[in-house]
Amino acid sequence: MRVTTRLKNSSEQFGWISIGFHWLVALGALGLFPLGVYMVDLGYYDPGYQWYPDIHRSLGILLAGLLFLRLIWKLINPSPRLLVHSTWEKAAAKGGHLLLYLFLFTVLISGYLLSTADGRGIQVFNWFTLPALPGLAGRNEELAGWVHWYAALTLIIFAGLHALAALKHHFVDRNPTLKRMLGIKTEK
Protein backbone atom coordinates (compact mmCIF):
# COMPACT_ATOMS: atom_id res chain seq x y z
CA MET A 1 0.00 0.00 0.00
CA ARG A 2 1.39 3.36 -1.04
CA VAL A 3 0.13 6.79 -0.17
CA THR A 4 -0.26 9.54 -2.68
CA THR A 5 2.25 12.34 -2.80
CA ARG A 6 -0.18 14.80 -4.38
CA LEU A 7 -1.12 18.06 -2.68
CA LYS A 8 -3.67 18.98 -5.34
CA ASN A 9 -6.42 16.75 -6.69
CA SER A 10 -6.20 14.91 -9.98
CA SER A 11 -9.14 13.45 -11.87
CA GLU A 12 -8.59 10.13 -10.02
CA GLN A 13 -6.98 11.07 -6.74
CA PHE A 14 -7.58 13.44 -3.83
CA GLY A 15 -4.56 15.51 -2.86
CA TRP A 16 -3.56 16.02 0.77
CA ILE A 17 -5.03 19.52 1.00
CA SER A 18 -8.54 18.30 0.17
CA ILE A 19 -8.04 15.23 2.37
CA GLY A 20 -6.94 17.43 5.25
CA PHE A 21 -9.92 19.74 4.84
CA HIS A 22 -12.30 16.78 4.74
CA TRP A 23 -11.11 15.12 7.93
CA LEU A 24 -10.66 18.35 9.88
CA VAL A 25 -14.25 19.35 9.09
CA ALA A 26 -15.42 15.82 9.96
CA LEU A 27 -13.54 15.93 13.26
CA GLY A 28 -14.91 19.41 14.03
CA ALA A 29 -18.53 18.51 13.32
CA LEU A 30 -18.37 15.17 15.11
CA GLY A 31 -16.69 16.80 18.11
CA LEU A 32 -18.87 19.89 18.42
CA PHE A 33 -22.13 17.94 18.38
CA PRO A 34 -21.60 15.86 21.55
CA LEU A 35 -19.89 18.84 23.21
CA GLY A 36 -22.98 20.94 22.51
CA VAL A 37 -25.37 18.28 23.78
CA TYR A 38 -23.27 17.83 26.90
CA MET A 39 -22.71 21.47 27.77
CA VAL A 40 -26.34 22.61 27.72
CA ASP A 41 -27.19 20.26 30.59
CA LEU A 42 -24.36 21.32 32.87
CA GLY A 43 -25.30 22.63 36.30
CA TYR A 44 -24.63 26.26 37.15
CA TYR A 45 -21.93 25.31 39.64
CA ASP A 46 -20.15 22.93 37.27
CA PRO A 47 -16.57 24.15 36.65
CA GLY A 48 -17.17 23.77 32.90
CA TYR A 49 -20.42 25.77 32.84
CA GLN A 50 -18.71 28.70 31.13
CA TRP A 51 -15.64 26.95 29.73
CA TYR A 52 -17.34 24.32 27.55
CA PRO A 53 -19.64 26.82 25.78
CA ASP A 54 -16.64 29.11 25.23
CA ILE A 55 -14.76 26.23 23.58
CA HIS A 56 -17.85 25.24 21.57
CA ARG A 57 -18.35 28.76 20.22
CA SER A 58 -14.65 29.30 19.51
CA LEU A 59 -14.22 25.99 17.69
CA GLY A 60 -17.46 26.62 15.79
CA ILE A 61 -16.15 29.93 14.45
CA LEU A 62 -12.84 28.32 13.47
CA LEU A 63 -14.73 25.51 11.75
CA ALA A 64 -16.74 28.07 9.79
CA GLY A 65 -13.48 29.68 8.65
CA LEU A 66 -12.10 26.29 7.68
CA LEU A 67 -15.23 25.43 5.73
CA PHE A 68 -15.03 28.73 3.90
CA LEU A 69 -11.41 28.01 2.88
CA ARG A 70 -12.42 24.49 1.89
CA LEU A 71 -15.06 25.78 -0.50
CA ILE A 72 -12.58 28.20 -2.08
CA TRP A 73 -10.12 25.34 -2.49
CA LYS A 74 -12.85 23.18 -4.01
CA LEU A 75 -13.62 25.92 -6.55
CA ILE A 76 -10.02 26.36 -7.71
CA ASN A 77 -9.13 22.68 -7.41
CA PRO A 78 -12.07 20.47 -8.47
CA SER A 79 -12.69 17.09 -6.84
CA PRO A 80 -11.81 13.84 -8.69
CA ARG A 81 -14.48 12.17 -10.78
CA LEU A 82 -17.20 10.21 -9.04
CA LEU A 83 -16.61 6.47 -9.00
CA VAL A 84 -20.26 5.49 -9.17
CA HIS A 85 -21.84 4.81 -12.55
CA SER A 86 -25.61 4.64 -12.29
CA THR A 87 -27.49 7.88 -12.75
CA TRP A 88 -29.30 7.65 -9.40
CA GLU A 89 -26.10 6.99 -7.48
CA LYS A 90 -24.41 9.97 -9.13
CA ALA A 91 -27.39 12.15 -8.25
CA ALA A 92 -27.48 10.78 -4.70
CA ALA A 93 -23.76 11.40 -4.22
CA LYS A 94 -23.93 14.96 -5.52
CA GLY A 95 -27.16 15.73 -3.66
CA GLY A 96 -25.82 14.19 -0.46
CA HIS A 97 -22.62 16.24 -0.56
CA LEU A 98 -24.61 19.38 -1.29
CA LEU A 99 -26.87 18.71 1.71
CA LEU A 100 -23.87 18.09 3.96
CA TYR A 101 -22.45 21.50 3.03
CA LEU A 102 -25.87 23.11 3.37
CA PHE A 103 -26.48 21.77 6.86
CA LEU A 104 -22.91 22.52 7.95
CA PHE A 105 -23.41 26.15 7.01
CA THR A 106 -26.89 26.23 8.55
CA VAL A 107 -25.57 24.92 11.87
CA LEU A 108 -22.62 27.31 11.87
CA ILE A 109 -24.60 30.39 10.86
CA SER A 110 -27.45 29.70 13.29
CA GLY A 111 -24.92 29.15 16.07
CA TYR A 112 -23.33 32.49 15.28
CA LEU A 113 -26.75 34.19 15.21
CA LEU A 114 -27.73 32.58 18.51
CA SER A 115 -24.62 33.76 20.30
CA THR A 116 -24.72 37.25 18.79
CA ALA A 117 -28.50 37.78 19.03
CA ASP A 118 -28.10 40.54 21.62
CA GLY A 119 -25.35 42.35 19.72
CA ARG A 120 -22.42 40.92 21.67
CA GLY A 121 -19.59 39.47 19.62
CA ILE A 122 -18.10 36.00 20.04
CA GLN A 123 -14.75 35.80 21.80
CA VAL A 124 -12.71 33.18 19.94
CA PHE A 125 -10.33 31.75 22.54
CA ASN A 126 -8.11 34.62 23.64
CA TRP A 127 -7.42 35.35 20.04
CA PHE A 128 -10.03 37.74 18.59
CA THR A 129 -13.65 38.79 18.92
CA LEU A 130 -15.96 38.13 16.00
CA PRO A 131 -18.46 41.02 16.14
CA ALA A 132 -22.21 40.67 15.79
CA LEU A 133 -23.72 41.86 12.53
CA PRO A 134 -25.86 44.85 13.57
CA GLY A 135 -28.65 44.08 11.11
CA LEU A 136 -28.91 40.47 12.26
CA ALA A 137 -28.66 40.98 16.02
CA GLY A 138 -32.41 41.24 16.49
CA ARG A 139 -33.01 39.12 19.58
CA ASN A 140 -33.94 36.10 17.47
CA GLU A 141 -32.19 33.69 19.82
CA GLU A 142 -35.20 31.38 20.08
CA LEU A 143 -35.43 30.88 16.29
CA ALA A 144 -31.64 30.63 15.92
CA GLY A 145 -31.48 28.13 18.77
CA TRP A 146 -34.23 25.99 17.25
CA VAL A 147 -32.55 25.97 13.83
CA HIS A 148 -29.13 25.28 15.39
CA TRP A 149 -30.38 22.18 17.21
CA TYR A 150 -32.43 20.62 14.40
CA ALA A 151 -29.86 21.42 11.69
CA ALA A 152 -27.14 19.85 13.87
CA LEU A 153 -29.26 16.76 14.41
CA THR A 154 -29.94 16.49 10.67
CA LEU A 155 -26.27 17.04 9.87
CA ILE A 156 -25.23 14.19 12.15
CA ILE A 157 -27.78 11.87 10.50
CA PHE A 158 -26.51 12.85 7.03
CA ALA A 159 -22.91 12.40 8.17
CA GLY A 160 -23.87 8.88 9.28
CA LEU A 161 -25.44 8.15 5.87
CA HIS A 162 -22.32 9.63 4.22
CA ALA A 163 -20.13 7.19 6.19
CA LEU A 164 -22.43 4.26 5.37
CA ALA A 165 -22.27 5.18 1.67
CA ALA A 166 -18.45 5.27 1.84
CA LEU A 167 -18.44 1.80 3.44
CA LYS A 168 -20.85 0.55 0.77
CA HIS A 169 -18.51 1.77 -1.99
CA HIS A 170 -15.60 0.10 -0.25
CA PHE A 171 -17.08 -3.27 0.69
CA VAL A 172 -19.92 -3.74 -1.80
CA ASP A 173 -18.85 -1.86 -4.94
CA ARG A 174 -15.17 -2.51 -4.11
CA ASN A 175 -14.15 0.84 -5.58
CA PRO A 176 -11.47 3.11 -4.05
CA THR A 177 -13.85 5.90 -2.90
CA LEU A 178 -12.85 5.49 0.75
CA LYS A 179 -9.22 4.65 0.00
CA ARG A 180 -8.61 7.84 -1.93
CA MET A 181 -10.06 9.95 0.92
CA LEU A 182 -7.51 8.24 3.18
CA GLY A 183 -4.67 9.21 0.82
CA ILE A 184 -4.01 5.67 -0.41
CA LYS A 185 -2.61 5.73 -3.91
CA THR A 186 -5.03 4.22 -6.41
CA GLU A 187 -3.89 5.71 -9.73
CA LYS A 188 -1.23 4.06 -11.81
Partner 1 sequence: MNVKTGLKTLALTSALAATPLMAADYVIDTQGAHAFVQFKISHLGYSYVLGRFNDFEGNFTWDKNNPEASSIEVNIDPASVDTNHAERDQHIRSDDFLDVSNYAQASFVSTGYEVTGEGEGVMTGDLTLMGETRSIEIDVEKVGEGEDPWGGYRVGFTGTTEIHLPDYGINFNLGPAAETVEMELVVEGVRQ
How many residues are there in the chain? 188
* Residue 12 touching partner 1 (CB under 8 A): no
* Residue 48 touching partner 1 (CB under 8 A): no
User: Smaller CB distance to partner 1: residue 51 or 68?
Assistant: 51
* Residue 130 touching partner 1 (CB under 8 A): no
* Residue 43 touching partner 1 (CB under 8 A): yes
User: Smaller CB distance to partner 1: residue 114 or 155?
Assistant: 114
Asked if 3 contacts 183 with a C-beta cutoff of 8 angstroms, the reply is: yes
Q: Among 1, 2, 45, 134, indicate the residue that binds partner 1 (CB under 8 A).
A: 45
Asked if 169 contacts 83 with a C-beta cutoff of 8 angstroms, the reply is: yes
From the list 13, 5, 3, the residue with the least C-alpha distance to 77 is 13
Closest approach of partner 1 to the CB of residue 145, in Å: 6
User: Smaller CB distance to partner 1: residue 20 or 121?
Assistant: 121
User: Smaller CB distance to partner 1: residue 12 or 54?
Assistant: 54
Binding site for partner 1 (CB under 8 A): 43-45, 114-118, 120, 139, 141-142, 145
